[in-house]
Structure 1
Amino acid sequence: MSSKSTLVRDVMSTPLVTISPDATLVEAATRMRSENVGALLVPSTELAILTSTDILDAIAADRDPAGTTVADVMTESVETVTPELRLTEAAAMMENFGISHLPVVDDDLVGMVSSTDITAQLS
């Protein structure tokens, strides 16, 4: 399959790894390390995401990772893609929005695609 016709579903990570909005950043970082992922979905009233960059930014801003919750630093109003989207289009979205992870949504959340997934496929 050529990289131009590769779809998000061909490279997305499943199952999704989630974390509670009440969890601390220490718990989130531990979960990311154990699951070998760079982002966690946060089930809340609307789709939210916590990335390793969010955790690094919080620590760099001198926030206590043991006392700061996921809800304090997570990103809400998250961009999403469908499994049928071409990988090149997902890559363009990431570049345009300055993000490195996109939740994949069909009728429900079905996976996550990262810039690392895309780079590995397109290189």
Structure 2
Amino acid sequence: MKVSEIMSPHPLTVSPDQTLGEAAELMQRIDAGFLPVGEDDRLVGMLTDRDIAIRGVGAGKGPGAKVREVMTDDVCYCFEDEEIEAAARNMGAQQIRRVPVIDRDKRLVGVLSLGDIAVRQAAETAGDALEGIAQPSDLHG
């Protein structure tokens, strides 16, 4: 089964020039802790509620700070035509619970989460990914 068959399509994005306050309000409205960051029709980063809390508020930045100041720009992603098992293995290895999905033109087309895998794919695949995600690591200090 391909990633495109179970991903959440058409994700909302924020711009690197939007404020942390705007991003946080959007996260609250859609009940999400993750937003892809897009610029000129390209994926340029990811923003999590943890980024806002740790790199933003924890570093003394207020709600007027720009998303680009705290976003993660080293983006892990998968392709829409990739097999789910391969994407899940990579998520486990990178210890991430959700990943942006891009097409072969590198345009954002969706988001794949551990929940998507658990609900729509074999529980074993989600369990394998979660096992990797749950391992102690210094990657996400």
Question: The TM-score by the shorter chain falls in which range?
Answer: 0.7 to 0.9
Partner of 1:85: 82
Which amino acid is 1:36 matched to?
Answer: D
| Maintained 8 Å contact 2:56/2:70 | no
Relative distance call for 1:100 and 1:65 in structure 2 (3 A) is farther
Q: How many angstroms does 1:73 deviate by?
A: 0.9
Partner of 2:67: 70
Deviations, residues 20-49 of structure 1 (Å, cap 9, x unaligned): 212222211111121233321212376211
**Structure 1 runs of 4+ with >4 Å offset:** none
Does residue 114 in structure 1 map to residue 113 in structure 2? yes
Which amino acid is 1:73 matched to?
Answer: V
Contiguous gaps of at least 5 residues in structure 2:
124-141
Give the secondary-structure state (helix, strand or coil) at the position aligned to 1:47.
Answer: strand
Partner of 1:3: none
Q: How many angstroms does 1:75 deviate by?
A: 0.9
Q: How many angstroms does 1:14 deviate by?
A: 1.6
| Maintained 8 Å contact 2:77/2:99 | yes
Does residue 7 in structure 1 map to residue 2 in structure 2? yes
What is the distance in 2 between the residues matched to 1:57 and 1:118? Answer: 28
What is the distance in 1 between the residues matched to 2:12 and 2:87? Answer: 20
Q: Which segment drifts farther, 54-63 or 23-32?
A: 54-63
What is the distance in 2 between the residues matched to 1:66 and 1:36? Answer: 18
Contiguous gaps of at least 5 residues in structure 1:
1-5
Partner of 2:137: none
Relative distance call for 1:24 and 1:12 in structure 2 (3 A) is same
Question: How many pairs were matched up?
Answer: 118
| Maintained 8 Å contact 2:37/2:45 | yes
Q: 2:37 aligns with which of 42, 52, 56?
A: 42
Deviations, residues 35-71 of structure 1 (Å, cap 9, x unaligned): 2333212123762111222223235625344133211
What is the RMSD of the two structures over their aligned residues, measured on CA atoms? Answer: 2.2
What is the distance in 2 between the residues matched to 1:71 and 1:89? Answer: 30
